Chain A
């Protein structure tokens, strides 16, 4: 039996066909205008997922590239500064080597002094507003002009000597300490001069603590770590500079985090000793759960808050010992501002403690992500480059200051000893120059690899989401023809009817 074709059927067929042709046509039109074959996730769900993955990978690569550029810039600056410093050390060394006559010695000493200041300002170089050589404590200058006690090379005494206190004088001054009577501190006597040895004070006993007051707030301390006691005729020179940094171990004033709940005061307790560590440290105390002074539980960190000790729950009066090395305790005391003043959860207090020497930064590395899960250290710490702490070999600024003083005082042997130290210092600086050069080249290799990878991913991305234009244009033409045919047909359909043939 023949199919009955009704009016509705003829028109619905036409409408269906027109719709289909138009859909195909507009989908191709969209692809042509957006140049993409994935215009919504359902066009190709797997492809859409891949596109997102590729985009994230490209973003990561771009970021690694930026990280590498940052680190590279930092390293380049470090490299330049270290090379300059190495050259200046060489000049200072030459001054020591050239020390032939006493007339030139004073000139050479001045020369070394200005080289020292130049090196000091280089060692305090910044990258943007961050200090290059402060370790991770990049917000503070790592070095100050040093107030160094220099022992005469013919001295009997072979223990350490430190300066302490804060020099309050308004002009630079040269102090000299001369031992008048031999013995250990408490027995030995000494004379002082503050005009380079022209006039001397009366002999006085060196206190048992070994700390002798020089005047203007400055002290000098004889350590008990030597084999030979103070010997009559021993000479110690101290050049004091306004605003200079003394070399004895010291502990900063403790500080509280800005948004602590606790409103009271934090201070270094009187029971604290001299800081006994051999590297700079930041101690921190964090309260857990909060409570009144003496009751609140807390934890102590000796690495600036990176890692924390066990929670301490015993009552603690008003003092917390953050370093319990016997004789060298570091103790904080807390005083509430009123009866209702309490410690809150996460209230934080911290204190910087500095080992003897002049470095104010720390020995921590700065690092940057150079790839998924891989990090690269990009800084050279002042500690390793310019001090004898941690990985460091020579206290550069002490050597320079000693050289200057030895030249001033015509101490030939002293000069030679410092020239040797400076040679070592120069070698170690060169080693860090080489190290940062190696890091830069490894960064450059990573960067090039990333460029290659980026190109590949761009290729993959384009393959996944971009249209093959030729193919689309051909298809578009085909669909256009189909659509035109459908239009032509739909116009014809109404024309055929039996009504046209009825009289």
Chain B
């Protein structure tokens, strides 16, 4: 007896299988452009007959699972590469800003101002009592200090902006970490309840990449479905349903990254990748380094000019005072021409004796040729040119790194796409296939129906 009804049952299974397969196809097509979406496939299996029979010919079909087509290994690499890209991209962005500050290629920059400054001293040495020359020098000196202040301020602003971004990134990171913890809970529940959690898995993979873009992490997937996330040196960030929040703490004007529950221990050094690493590195090492070199340059210039200036005499026969104000803790950011000189250029000590000669002005202009920098190896001008060259090299290097990391990322994304991406063409063909399956199942049901009708007609 089992025969015809069995055929109908099989047809029913086939209807169902086709329908679900088409639903999955529909979801794939709908999410073709959704970032992080992993294509899914209904996995069909032949249903074994209820009991083992001698000559069982019929078996139905069943959906064993909705499979997520992804490659765990590529996924790991992508998370890792997100950290590299995050780090390199923030460095590149910051370097572009720094380079714009030091762009001397059009002239009118610090190099020019230094040259103008020395020229003004030489002009004054040729006419030491000339008011035009004195005012010219006071202006040139003013422009030089303004330029030093601007450059140093700009660098400092870059540091401050990075600092603000660090705070914002830590906030963002806390959000993604607690989202991952939340998803962990749902996924574990879903797994144990046999619910399809593919969407949640997609979301969590995206969040892991986002997290890695901010800070370098390692993660392990537990058998229950939860992932545990750690910093590169093994401090826990997420464990199952719990996340550890990070925070920032002011340390001498700039923020340290700390654990919220252990705010006195900075973990800056434990961060070796992601945007946070790039921001911390640029703020505390690279930009701070350039600023220190600029401070060094300003300080040497100020001290050398002041020392020589003090051995001369001004137009009122006074012993030369400070030409520049002594640099304070703010370094080049606070560079100023001495107030007395600003108020009255006759206070410029151009003379080497009380007889109004110009020899001290000449001696000051000679400072430009003295090897005062880098342990008496280079002049002030050489030092600055070398700094600009160094920045250019660093920028070029950062640009190359960013391009390289981005192209590695593109390759990995493409590898992942090959495996997990949606191809509309493929889905369409699958659709045709499932449609045909559905039609065939209908034919089968129709045939069984006819057979049953025939049987009934016999009665």
A136 interface residue per 8 A CB criterion: yes
**Nearest chain B CB to A363 CB, angstrom units:** 11
- What residues on B are CB-neighbors of A62 within 8 Å? 119
The size of the chain B interface, using a CB distance under 8 A, is 74
B366 interface residue per 8 A CB criterion: yes
A26 interface residue per 8 A CB criterion: no
A258 interface residue per 8 A CB criterion: yes
- What residues on B are CB-neighbors of A314 within 8 Å? none
Surface stretch bound by B, among A46-54, A262-270, A410-418:
A46-54
User: Interface readout for B120-137 with A: 1 if CB under 8 Å, 0 if not?
Assistant: 001101111110000000
Q: How many Å lie between the Cα of A8 and that of B111 in the bound state?
A: 49
* B318 adjacent to A56 (CB under 8 Å): no
* B418 adjacent to A3 (CB under 8 Å): yes
* B417 adjacent to A364 (CB under 8 Å): no
- What residues on A are CB-neighbors of B62 within 8 Å? none
B191 interface residue per 8 A CB criterion: no
**Nearest chain B CB to A338 CB, angstrom units:** 22
B356 interface residue per 8 A CB criterion: yes
A207 interface residue per 8 A CB criterion: no
* A56 adjacent to B428 (CB under 8 Å): no
| A42-B99, A139-B129, A346-B319 given; A305·B105 CB < 8 A | no
**Nearest chain B CB to A288 CB, angstrom units:** 10
From the candidates A5, A56, A305, A373, name the one contacting B111 in the complex (CB within 8 A). A56
* B119 adjacent to A63 (CB under 8 Å): yes
* A40 adjacent to B359 (CB under 8 Å): no
The chain A residue sitting closest to B32, CB to CB, is A7
Q: How many Å lie between the Cα of A62 and that of B123 in the bound state?
A: 12
Dominant SS at the B interface?
Answer: helix
A138 interface residue per 8 A CB criterion: yes
| A41-B388, A41-B395, A45-B390 given; A36·B105 CB < 8 A | yes
Surface stretch bound by B, among A221-229, A472-480, A494-502:
A494-502
Question: Which residues of A in the span 277-332 have a Cβ within 8 Å of any Cβ on B?
Answer: 282, 284, 286, 303-306
| A48-B388, A367-B362, A368-B125 given; A465·B105 CB < 8 A | yes
Q: How many Å lie between the Cα of A63 and that of B107 in the bound state?
A: 17
- What residues on B are CB-neighbors of A373 within 8 Å? 366, 369
* B388 adjacent to A52 (CB under 8 Å): yes
Question: Which residues of A in the span 28-64 have a Cβ within 8 Å of any Cβ on B?
Answer: 36, 38-46, 48-49, 51-53, 55-56, 59-60, 62-63
A137 interface residue per 8 A CB criterion: yes
- What residues on A are CB-neighbors of B384 within 8 Å? 52
From the candidates A306, A369, A498, name the one contacting B428 in the complex (CB within 8 A). A498
* A372 adjacent to B369 (CB under 8 Å): yes
* B122 adjacent to A41 (CB under 8 Å): no
The chain A residue sitting closest to B370, CB to CB, is A373
Q: How many Å lie between the Cα of A55 and that of B355 in the bound state?
A: 35
* A56 adjacent to B354 (CB under 8 Å): no
* B421 adjacent to A137 (CB under 8 Å): no
- What residues on B are CB-neighbors of A6 within 8 Å? 32, 417-418, 421-423
- What residues on A are CB-neighbors of B128 within 8 Å? 138
The chain B residue sitting closest to A373, CB to CB, is B369
**Interface size range of chain A in the complex:** 35 or more
Q: How many Å lie between the Cα of A9 and that of B415 in the bound state?
A: 10
From the candidates B130, B362, B396, B421, name the one contacting A7 in the complex (CB within 8 A). B421
| A41-B105, A41-B391, A375-B362 given; A282·B421 CB < 8 A | no
* B127 adjacent to A499 (CB under 8 Å): no
From the candidates B100, B385, B396, name the one contacting A49 in the complex (CB within 8 A). B385
- What residues on A are CB-neighbors of B396 within 8 Å? 42-43, 45
* B424 adjacent to A9 (CB under 8 Å): no
B413 interface residue per 8 A CB criterion: yes
* B428 adjacent to A7 (CB under 8 Å): no
From the candidates A51, A59, A366, name the one contacting B119 in the complex (CB within 8 A). A59
From the candidates A40, A59, A305, name the one contacting B353 in the complex (CB within 8 A). A305
**Nearest chain B CB to A376 CB, angstrom units:** 11
Q: How many Å lie between the Cα of A206 and that of B426 in the bound state?
A: 134
Q: How many Å lie between the Cα of A460 and that of B365 in the bound state?
A: 26
The chain A residue sitting closest to B432, CB to CB, is A502
From the candidates B321, B352, B428, name the one contacting A502 in the complex (CB within 8 A). B428
From the candidates A60, A66, A362, name the one contacting B355 in the complex (CB within 8 A). A362
* A366 adjacent to B357 (CB under 8 Å): yes
B195 interface residue per 8 A CB criterion: no
- Show 27 residue pairs from A and B whose CB-CB distance is below 8 angstroms, ordered by the A residue: A4-B418, A6-B32, A9-B417, A12-B413, A12-B414, A40-B395, A41-B99, A45-B390, A45-B395, A49-B389, A49-B392, A51-B104, A56-B114, A59-B118, A63-B119, A70-B126, A71-B126, A136-B353, A136-B356, A136-B359, A138-B128, A346-B318, A348-B317, A367-B362, A369-B125, A373-B366, A497-B424
B: residues with CB less than 8 A from A are 32-33, 95, 99-100, 102-105, 107, 111-112, 114-116, 118-119, 122-123, 125-130, 313, 316-319, 321, 347, 352-359, 362, 365-366, 368-369, 381-382, 384-386, 388-393, 395-396, 399, 410, 413-414, 417-419, 421-426, 428-429, 432
Q: Supply 14 further A-B pairs (C-beta < 8 A) apart from A41-B103, A502-B432.
A: A4-B419, A5-B418, A40-B99, A45-B389, A52-B111, A59-B119, A135-B355, A136-B357, A138-B129, A259-B318, A304-B354, A306-B353, A364-B353, A364-B355
